[in-house]
Every structure is written in C-alpha cells, then in structure tokens.
Chain A
Amino acid sequence: MTGVGIAGESISTKSTPKSDSSLSRSPHSSIFQTKMRPLDEDETKAVFEKLFKFTGNNLKNIVENPSYEGPGSNPSRYCFRINKNKVYYVSESLVKRATNVARNNLVSLGTCIGKYTHGGSFHLTVQSLSLLAANAKHKVWLKPTSEMAFLYGNHVLKGGLGRITENIAPGDGVVVFSMSDVPLGFGISAKSTQDCRKLDPNGIVVLHQADIGEYLRMEDEL
C-alpha cells in the first residue's frame, strides 16, 4: 500500500485498475462516474486542495488516521473513493467488503466529504464537518445569540463573533464552532484576524459554506 503525499499523489491502494476504460473520462465530465473507484490524479488534487484550506498541515492526520472499522483487529488506513460524483472518505477494510455490492446498488460508504458539481468543480459538504473539525487550523467561535442565524445559512458577522484564532488570512478555510465547542459548520474567511478587529459589527467575517442546519433544511440535496 502506498502512502499518500500531501502534494496530491495518486492513491493506489488496491490492484484494481485505476481506469475503467469504458467509464473513465476527465474528472470534469464527472456525470459518468457510476462505479465506485479510487480517485484519479486530478480528482485527488482537487480534493486535497480544498481540504488543505481548512486543515493546513494537519492534512497528514486525515490521511494517515488509523481506522478501527472493519472486522479485522488491525487498524487499517482510510482512503478516498468516488461514487456517482460523491467523494467518500472510507476505511480500506470497508472498501474491500463493499465490493460485493453491485455498483448500481451502492449508495454510500463511510463518510461522504463532498461532491463534484455538473461543472466539474469539487465542493466540500457538511458531512465532512466532523473530519474537518478534528483537524482544523482556523477556528471561530460564535456567541449563543448568533448560533441560530448561522444555522439558517447566513454569514458570520462581526457582532456574532466570540473568539477567533490568530493568523487567519482572507480566503482561508474556517471551521465555525459554538461556545460549547460543538462544530456548527464551515466557511471561508473574508477578512484577516487583524482586520476583523477594526470591522463594524455588521461586517462579514466568515462566508458561509455549509452548516449542520442543512441536515434539516436541505436533507434531499445532501
């Protein structure tokens, strides 16, 4: 099993051919990915880029996390698989056993972390929150009064900010927590930490990307 580098090397942990000739095309025509398969190079790069925004160097943790899933007693590794435009972060032992399931009938494995849009770009979804929250570099804590506002899909305003980690640059991935350290969602920072201090209370600090309220609001679209 080859390790996975942060720079986005291709993952090949199994002997299954990476490209199923009838099906593999460029990741941008991802509509045709119906079979569960490992990510190809471009896809891997895209996924890791997005993850890197949130985790920085902790990306290593994500990839090398020992997993206790699967019936064996030795911990195995996690890997990424793509199935019908959704990218899953799943333990290898699970993957091995999921091959029994026909591709048309397989719906989900492990944790879905994001999906490819029709345009071919990759977006992280709220289901990756637990993974991101464990390895987040940049965090923001919300006051209790503005929790609900964020859970409805609004951006984080300066007035709702409780705490913020240092050294946030604009455009960084930020994970949003409540004051009791419950992860609420994530987004992209609009301002650096320094600028935040000078902002007026209605200024946007974090642009909303995903939040746990989506489990109720947009269950169908997940």
Chain B
Amino acid sequence: MGASKKKDGAKSQKSAPKKKQKNELFVVKDAVAKEDDLSDHSDSLNEEVLEHASKKKGGANSQKSAPKKKQKNELFVVKDSIAKEDDLSDHSDSLNEEVLENASKKKGGAKSQKSAPKKKQKKEIFVVKDAIAKEDDLSDHSDSMNEEELSEDEEFDGDEQDFGSDSDIFSDGDDPLANDFLQGSDDEEKGLGSDLDSDSNSDSDSDSEGSDIEKKSRAIDAEKAREEEEAGEEMQLNIKEESDEFRLPTKEELEEEAHRPPDLSNLQRRIREIIRVLSNFKALRQEGTARKDYVEQLKKDLSSYYGYNEFLIGALVEMFPVVELLELIEAFEKPRPICLRTNTLKTRRRDLADILINRGVNLDPLSKWSKVGLVVYDSQVPVGATPEYMAGFYMLQSASSFLPVMALAPQEKERIVDVAAAPGGKTTYIAALMKNSGIIFANEMKAPRLKSLTANLHRMGVTNTVVCNYDGRELPKVFRNSADRVLLDAPCSGTGVISKDESVKNTKSLDEIQKCAYLQKQLILAAIDMVDANSKSGGYLVYSTCSIMVAENEAVIDYALKKRNVKLVSCGLDFGRPGFIRFREQRFHPSLEKTRRFYPHVHNMDGFFVAKLKKMNNSKPAPETSEPSETVEQGSMTNESGSGENTEELMDGTTTENKVLKNGSIENGKKETLAFSKNRKKRKFPSREVISKEREEKRRALREQKVVGKRS
C-alpha cells in the first residue's frame, strides 16, 4: 500500500480502478519475477506481440512525450503482469475480466479522447494480458485472449492511426519486458528498465521504486526540457525565416499577382506585415528599401483588399499614422449603430424608451453627452415604422448629426436659418431645443428633397418653421444680416460616411473634392453674410460636414477666416479631436484647433467635422483688388448697423470725430484681434484713422487760416 502511495505521488493520479490495478499488479510483479521458467512462453509471447506490434508499426511518429507515456505504459504492463501472476487462474481470470473491463472503459475513453498515452496503456494492458495469460499456462485462456486481443486490436486499428505509433512504443517496451524483465534498456526506456530491475530484484519494492521514480522523473524532465528547447529553436527558426523572408514583392511577383485573381488572405497578411514593419521601421526594415516603397505597396494592397481607389487611399495615408489607418479602414467596413433622437416636443426619453422596449426594441441611452439620444441594438419590429415613429415621437438619426445642433445651441425666440435642411433631422432638433418658439427658415436647394423635409417637420409637430427652396448661395439676398444663428451642414464628398455608402470608396477623385470645396467656400461666405453680428443672443454660425478631408474642412474655415470678420469659438463638444492646424504644406490659423473632428474608430460615430464661428462685424473686409479705401469705408459703414455715423457726420465737430475715432478704434480693436488678417485690412485701419486725422488737421489749418485771414 505504501508503494502504491508513492506511485501515486510520483505520477498524476488516475482513476480508481486503475489504482486498484496498480496495487494488484504490484503484488503480482513479484510473482512474475519468479516466473523465470516461463521464459520460453514469454519468448513466444514476445514474438506474437511483436507480430501484432509490427502490424501497427505503420504510423511511427515522433512523439515528444513518448518516454513518459512509455514509462507509464511499462509500469502498467508490469503491474498487470504482476497482478495476473498472483492468483494464477482465479485472480488472473478476474483480473483479466477487470482488465478487459478497464480496457473497454479505456477504449471508450480513447474514442472520445485523442490522447495517445491512454491508448498506449490500453494496448499495453492488452498485450500484457496476453503475455500474462500465456504465462498462466492457460493456453485456452491465452488463445481466447489472443483472439480477443486481435479483434480488439483490429478495432483499435480501425479507430486511430496513433495506435501505429503506440505499437512502436509498445514493441519497444515489450521487448525488454518480454525478453527479460530484468534487463535494462539503454534507450528511452532506461527508467523502465531500472524500474523493472528494481522490481524484479527485491522485496522492498516500495523503496527501490521510490528511487527509481525519482530517476524516472528526472529522466522525464530532462527529456521534456530537451524537447522544449528543440521546439523553441524550431520556432525561432520559423520566426526568423518569416521575418527575414518578409520582403516586398518584386516586380515579377507583382505582375504574377496581377494575372491571378486576388488572393485575399495573402493580401491581408502582407498588409499586416507592412504595418508591422513600418511601425518599427529601423529594426524591421529590409535592407535597401525605402519607407516610401513600403508605403506604396501598402497603398496598393489596401486599395485592392478593401476596394478603395488610389486617390482616397493616398489621402487617408497622408492623414493618419499607419496603425490608425488600418483601424479606420476596418471601422469603415462595419455599420455604425442605429440611433434615434427623442422628440422633446411630444415626449420624454424615458417614456419613449419604455414604450419602445414594450414593443420589443433593444435600446440604451446614447451617451452621457446627449439627453435625447437612444441607440438601438436590435429590434423585433422595424424601428422606422412603429406607431410612435409615425406619431412623431422620435427621429431616426445618426449620432454624428446631433453634434452640429448641440454646437449651435439655439436659444428660444431666436431666428435660425438652416441652409441645407433636408431631410430635416437637424431642423427638427433645433425646433425641439427652441420649444417651437422663434422662427426657423429651413432651406433646401433640391426640390425632390423638400417633400421629405416638410413631411418630417409636420410629423414631428414643428410649427415655427418656414420652408423655402433656394440655392444656398442666393440666400443672403433674402436674409441679409438678419439671422441670430445659422447652421450650414454643407454638402460634401461623404468620405466620413463610407460605412453607409460604399460607392464613395472608389468614385471620389481629387476633382470632386475640389469642386465640393469650392462650393463649400461659397456657401460659408453666404452663410456668414446672413448672420447678424449685433444680435443680442447670437451671431454664430456652425459649419459641419460628414467628411474627413482637410480640403473640405479646415481649408474652408481658414478661407472664411480670411474673407470675413469672423473668429472661431469653442464648439462645446469636448470629446472630439481638435482639427488640424497644419497639414502637409498648408498652414492654418492656430485657432483652428477649436474645431472638432470625429472618427468612426475612435468615437464610434460617422466621420464628422464641426466648427463654430462668431461673426464679429457685419462689415466685409476690403477685397484684394484695391478699390479706393474711402469708398470701401463708406460702403462698409453703411452696412454697419452699430455705427450710424456717415462720413459727413465725421466732418462735423470733434465730438463726432471722437466717436468715430472711438468706433474706429473699437473696430480696430475688433479687427486687430484677428491678428492673422492680411495686410489689406491693416492698410485699411490706419488709412481710416489717418484720413480722419488728416481731415481734422486740414480743417484746423483752414480755420486758422480763416481766423488769421479775418484778423488780417
């Protein structure tokens, strides 16, 4: 029993029956040792076993944990034999049965498990059974056993091919066993041999076994360590090969690839490899290739794998570091979650959420920055066709569309103009924020889209809106300087909403972007002209696009800053990324960092850009073509609502002059805060002051002359 305990300690625990077996086998071991005179039998047995083994020797695989298993097997074998040697007939019979049972159990186990050791054990047991049976002089038994074994072996054959390898080991293991229990084997079965020796030698099985176990375990460990080392080396070799081998494909390879249909997994692998190299360029670069080559190849791979055209990929590569670029492109492949906005004119978010959940919609509040947004994960009913939708309780809108209206922050009783209003999501949000007070002018250029705009307005219960159908660039003629706030959600190339519209990937070219940019510049100037700089509560313009191109965003704002008396203010959206201040060779005004950019891979909403401008002055700065400054002044002055003075009034008295000067200085102050303003503006201010001063001096001179003249 002590021996069994030790054994248990030495090895991992097995199932109870096995342990019992061990005990019994242990006992039997001794008996077996004394059965030297059965060596003949054992020889013959051995031969038979060998035959069996040879049949299965087919699949000889290298097995790394072979020694361990073999040892286990050997032990089992030994135990088995010992066990059977105990009570020759009865015991052996019962044992045989037990072994059979166990074997069958194990067989069942083997079928579900693929672990080789157990199979080997079974095999060993069977083989040993055979040996033992024969040693029992129960030829009948042995014959029957043989038959059984054969049949079972055949079954085994059918089951697993591993048995082939098992048999290999078995045969090896059997050899020492069969030939001479007491012989030690010099190969992997060293431990077993010693074990056998010790077992056969002395009665004090436990002690010898203990030391043998230690030796065995040390041998096992050594084996293991060796294998691990080898495996590690192999892996290193493989890795080295891979990284060494990652080189850019040569021209011939590329040509070849072009002829074949695109191999997506290869492309994907190459993309990731190039990104890995680029992120640690010094260490991983291939000798003799420049960064540019890698980037070129990456661009080509990305465009063919994801379906982009060259221009767009080039633009994206310029804007983002390579790792982020891949994240962005991956994010564009997936749709953003559906959002809806509660119509606060008719209901509250909590109530709406309850109603929709009852209908079977799975939703959550959008984020902490929105009190009216809900995001829909999935739904049993179509979200766009519920009775609540038709009653105007909510609007389906993407999360990014909330942002420009939040930045605009319309107050009650203000005058708002929405330059590109269709289909009306933002307009209705503005009306909800204003609680149907004030007035909104919703303009839309394209007639077919007007229908959806008016339908949405009526559906959501908006009553303070006038819908008109102008080209945005003509709007200033209608609304000059009369709006408190203006929202311009400009038509753009749509590069931020690729997840909604895949055609953007391959239809946008530099031309289109430039056309969009030109239109946007005209629109923003028109929009600025509609804002009333002297409005009590406003004077703001919000410009937004659903594009991530710098040419449509920062460049347009910069243009507006140069052309009009506006300045950038903070949007109030602190969770976006600040806009670019410089990009490639362009340099923008530093206040552009107050604009905000949103990306799908960072914020989980469509690509978006928002900028908020405040109009400082209703006058327009002088255009580049030099008109006489006086006329320009007059023109600008008549435009100003603040300063009621005319140039004639300037002429009268010092007080008005002071006023004018004050006004001028105030204006100068305002204008000078726009430090970036070009020289022509600066030229203007001094000219105004200078001119008035000059005039004053002239007047004084004239008066003095008159006085002098009178006197004289």
Contacts and interface: CB of A to CB of B under 8 A. Distances in A.
Interface of A: 67-73, 90-91, 93-94, 97-98, 100-102, 104-112, 127, 130, 147-148, 151, 178, 180, 182-184, 212-213, 215-216, 219-220, 222
Given A69-B463, A111-B463, A216 B437 contact: no
Given A91-B463, A183-B391, A107 B454 contact: yes
Interface string B399-415: 00000000000000111
B439 A93 contact: yes
Residue from A69, A111, A147, A215 whose CB has the most chain B CB atoms within 10 Å: A69
A112 B668 CA distance: 49
A91 B441 CA distance: 14
B358 to A, nearest CB: 10
A215 B438 CA distance: 26
A110 B390 contact: no
14 contacts: A68-B413, A68-B436, A69-B438, A91-B464, A101-B466, A101-B478, A107-B454, A108-B457, A109-B465, A110-B464, A212-B390, A212-B391, A212-B392, A222-B451
B415 A130 contact: no
Interface string B663-693: 0000000000000000000000000000000
A21 B529 CA distance: 36
Contacts of B653: none
A73 B536 CA distance: 14
A125 to B, nearest CB: 9
B177 interface: no
Interface of B: 355, 384-385, 387-388, 390-392, 413-415, 436-439, 441, 450-452, 454-455, 457-459, 461, 463-470, 478-479
Nearest to A98: B466
Contacts of A184: 387, 391
B467 A108 contact: yes
A136 to B, nearest CB: 15
Given A68-B437, A222-B451, A216 B390 contact: yes
Given A94-B464, A105-B469, A220-B451, A112 B439 contact: no
Contact of A182 (B391, B459, B469): B391
Given A151-B390, A182-B391, A215 B465 contact: no
Contacts of A222: 451, 454-455, 458
Nearest to B448: A220
A94 B439 CA distance: 7
Nearest to A144: B387
B431 to A, nearest CB: 10
Cβ-closest 4 pairs across A and B: A212-B390, A108-B467, A127-B458, A69-B464
A130 B465 contact: no
Contact of A94 (B459, B461, B466): B466
Given A69-B436, A182-B391, A216 B385 contact: yes
Nearest to B345: A130
Contacts of B452: 219
B387 A108 contact: no
Contacts of A68: 413, 436-437
Contact of A151 (B387, B441, B478): B387
Residue from A93, A108, A127 whose CB has the most chain B CB atoms within 10 Å: A108
Nearest to B450: A107
A108 B439 contact: no
A49 B653 CA distance: 67
Nearest to B456: A215
Contacts of A109: 465-467
A73 B414 CA distance: 10
A182 B388 CA distance: 8
A104 B469 CA distance: 8
A219 B424 CA distance: 14
Contacts of A112: 454, 458
B454 to A, nearest CB: 5
Nearest to A78: B463
A220 B453 CA distance: 11
